[in-house]
A and B are shown apart, each in its own frame.
Chain A
Amino acid sequence: GNSVTQMEGPVTLSEEAFLTINCTYTATGYPSLFWYVQYPGEGLQLLLKATKADDKGSNKGFEATYRKETTSFHLEKGSVQVSDSAVYFCALRQAGTALIFGKGTTLSVSS
């Protein structure tokens, strides 16, 4: 069945450091891929998405590129801020199915 694997955290960075959170997936066909973010005490909210191979999703300085050949959708940001501290979830969805999430990666950014 479909699945999402993301790097385990926590990831601890200093402000202005470069961020990469790895995400790989298993799916038949061509799923849509998503990154969701959960700030402390809140529900999840969509950060970015990509719907086909080689698409790049971007938002708030974060980027991720849909790589079909490596079945990956890694999240990157060039310079993190303290306000980026949150839990990040990679997810996929295919036709006729609900969204499937990875286990989440906790990011902690210190000043």
Chain B
Amino acid sequence: NAGVTQTPKFQVLKTGQSMTLQCAQDMNHNSMYWYRQDPGMGLRLIYYSASEGTTDKGEVPNGYNVSRLNKREFSLRLESAAPSQTSVYFCAISTPGQGYAGELFFGEGSRLTVL
């Protein structure tokens, strides 16, 4: 998906290890999101950032931290990974749209396995 780049695409961690998922956009939009996707659960919002320097918790923020240091980048950090955090993580950006009808553009996902 052009415009939203996630790294790494695959990662295996041991319980207790830390890591950071990186997301960068070149579409110059303000709003950025981190979702996790689990079988039978759909996508659940972890954190989002409406603009540079602001972040807000989503539905499942526990065990995660985020940083929005500039308009382009939004990172997701796992300080002490747990097996329950095994998932596919998606970064997304939102076009302004009219009202709240903006479209989300997703990255290709980062598959994380915690052993």
Contact = CB atoms under 8 A, between A and B. Distances in A.
B42 A101 contact: yes
Contacts, number: 60
B109 to A, nearest CB: 6
Given A51-B101, A97-B100, A103 B42 contact: yes
Interface magnitude class on chain A: 20 to 34
A89 to B, nearest CB: 6
Interface string B10-28: 0000000000000000000
A95 B90 contact: no
Interface string B30-71: 000101000011111100100000000010000000000000
Contacts of B104: 36, 44, 46, 99
Given A98-B45, A101-B43, A51 B58 contact: no
A103 B90 contact: no
Interface residues of B, number: 27
A44 B107 CA distance: 8
B106 A43 contact: yes
A96 B40 CA distance: 27
Interface in B97-115: 98-109
A58 interface: no
Contacts of A103: 40-42
Interface of B: 1, 4, 33, 35, 40-45, 48, 58, 90, 92, 94, 98-109
Interface of A: 31-32, 36, 42-46, 49, 51, 89, 93-104
